[in-house]
Chain A
């Protein structure tokens, strides 16, 4: 019974569960993250990168982060590059 309730609570709304929100930080800058309801993502303000949340699971791999442009719209651009990889536009899969 309790198990079902826990899973519902996690997936029901936008964002992530409480345990994760207390523990997770940005993988690059180690600064706290904030949840952005509008785009369903975690934003690291220190380096202006947003990490998407898919199905309640935050995706905090540096390569998947998107750099937020100055005008606050999300542009699909790899946040961390490595010279031997071309990553163009990592879209969220709904």
Chain B
């Protein structure tokens, strides 16, 4: 076949794909009989009201000398690992504010960190395109530094996000600027599976975030600069289970909803969205005007343990607390008393849901908990 004939086939195939996408979009639209807020209102759900001192900053963790980029809680004992522009990981006891480890990284350009489920090790990754594992129980070297216990190399671009597979310390999933996600076996240091990339259908731009389903750890979602989120089954690397369209800009952050059947996203388009994994439906858009002519990017999100609250950090310093059911902002942690002095770059909920940790460009981490009057029904 000549180049000209091939180009003709290519143009025809492109048109077919575009037509199919349009048909799918329209068919999906017909199934969107309501969104979450519309349904909740129809059920007479009462809005949440937060007093100005209900969500209190009860700890300020000081010690980093650069912007905090990432944080992660342990599943137990209230410890947090944080990664900073200062080229260090710090492990904190969040209750006492004590630092238990300060790890100087071989590559200072770190973007992400994660705590292992058993709390014995931490992982980090960044512009070195590698994921480094540190065993917290190993002996420090002559200079007092914790040695790297394993290096996971193979990505051809920066490592943007990493998360251990729950309930085991052996597997970790990373997302990368090389447009792929990878499932690693930490024992061998080898890639078990590569999701997307040159020979498989996957993201078509940098992948910025991953989130593993807490209810079914075989499933994970990824968010990308290609404006989509994708759902993956870790046993099937050849193609995504589903691709979620809707955002109009980079999807910077993804997080599974607590019930495991939905997930949230945050994007450069200024919106957070809630998607259903079984049907692919976009169930809700969370957007509120921040000020005149500005659409700040959503940089990080977290759900409260029931999913009723969605915490979203924005590039302009706001940190909206959304009522996910009624799609209303109930509080702005960016402007309460004792809030960060810089923008919030990362968020994470403690394992029992009793505290939210925020990391900021002001170099601090803060712990927030409910300090108001609680009514149990």
Chains A and B form a bound pair: no
Q: What is B's interface to A at a CB cutoff of 8 Å? A: none
